[in-house]
Amino acid sequence: MAPFYAGGYQSIPADLPSLRSVAKKEAYKLDSILKYKKTGRLLEVGPWIGMFSSNAKDAGFDVTAIEMNENCVDFLQRVVGIRAIQSSEPAVTLSAMAEKFDVIALWHSLEHLPDPWRLLQKAAESLLPGGVLLIAIPNIQSYDFSVLGAEWFPLDAPRHIYFFPIPWLEKFCASNGLSTLDITTSDHLARMVSQEAWLRKSASLIPIRYVRRLVGLALYELSKLRYKDQYSGGGLTAMFRKS
């Protein structure tokens, strides 16, 4: 899969202040964690340049990361100052780790894996009692996908391999000793995913830059009026706790 990630998502910053400048825009991602854990050992799988990991470290967590990109791993260790392990098989890597964690965070990484169920199983085993698992993924049950279909940008083939309906996710986590704490498709991240889907749809239809943005935002606002239930948003964030 590595060739499909050439160029990545964001370029590697020049230094830690540059990373923090970018990462502060994503500080909201810690809110879901901080409702249940204020400190402890935190593992993030697939951090890329480490915006969430950096914010978690600055908030007082002892952070470990598993990342497949060699350059990102070097940056995380040398510049950000967190333990980073290079691996494209996080389930295998997690199996070999002796330590247990208070928090394991999967920020839009689960959908990239050829064997996501193995990672979920290993994550459940690697949590301390009372530890929490955060899963953030595109919501395949969203209103956006029901309308846009193959044009729904979070499909992101071939980098996104699997998608997970909420009932399956809850059932699978429960079978591995994890109880549901919270599930939402209407948080800040979900709204951003939905908005981007409609902006990209508009961009494919309208060549004039500012007009297509206005149309995309209008389509996004109209789409919210058609939501059928509480889980119609474009992104899904779920929190689970180990018994």
| Residue 64, H or E segment | strand 62-67
Instruction: Spell 8-46 as b/e; 16+ CB within 10 A means b.
Output: eeeebbeeeeebeeebeeeeebbebbeebbeebbbbbbb
91-143 pLDDT tens trace: 999 999 999 999 999 999 999 999 999 999 999 999 999 999 999 999 999 99
pLDDT for 63 equals 97
pLDDT at 9 over 80: no
Task: Tell whether 198 is covered by a domain.
Answer: no
Into how many domains does the chain fold? 1
Measure CA 133 to chain center. Answer: 12
For residue 117, give both structure tokens.
């169920």
Task: Tell whether 46 is covered by a domain.
Answer: yes
Task: Tell whether 117 is covered by a domain.
Answer: yes
- Domain carrying residue 181: 2-186+230-242
pLDDT at 7 over 70: no
pLDDT for 123 equals 97
Q: Choose among 110, 104, 118: nearest CA to 159.
A: 110
Q: Return the SS3 of 212.
A: helix
Determine what percent of the chain is predicted with pLDDT higher than 90: 88
Q: Choose among 43, 104, 45: nearest CA to 72.
A: 45
Residue 94: CB atoms within 10 A of its CB come to: 23
pLDDT at 6 over 90: no
Task: Tell whether 49 is covered by a domain.
Answer: yes
Task: Tell whether 62 is covered by a domain.
Answer: yes
In the predicted model, what is the mean pLDDT of residues 220-232? 94
How would you classify residue 84: left for phi > 0, otherwise alpha for psi between -120 and 50, otherwise beta? Answer: beta
Task: Tell whether 213 is covered by a domain.
Answer: no
pLDDT at 2 over 80: no
pLDDT for 59 equals 95
Task: Tell whether 177 is covered by a domain.
Answer: yes
pLDDT for 8 equals 64
Does residue 45 contact residue 72 with C-beta atoms inside 8 Å? no
Average pLDDT value over all residues in the chain: 94
165-185 pLDDT tens trace: 999 999 999 999 999 999 999
Does residue 126 contact residue 234 with C-beta atoms inside 8 Å? no
In the predicted model, what is the mean pLDDT of residues 34-43? 96
Phi and psi at residue 230, in whole multiples of 5°? Answer: -70, -10
For residue 169, give both structure tokens.
């996710």
In the predicted model, what is the mean pLDDT of residues 197-208? 94
Task: Tell whether 205 is covered by a domain.
Answer: no
CATH of the domain at 135: 3.40.50.150
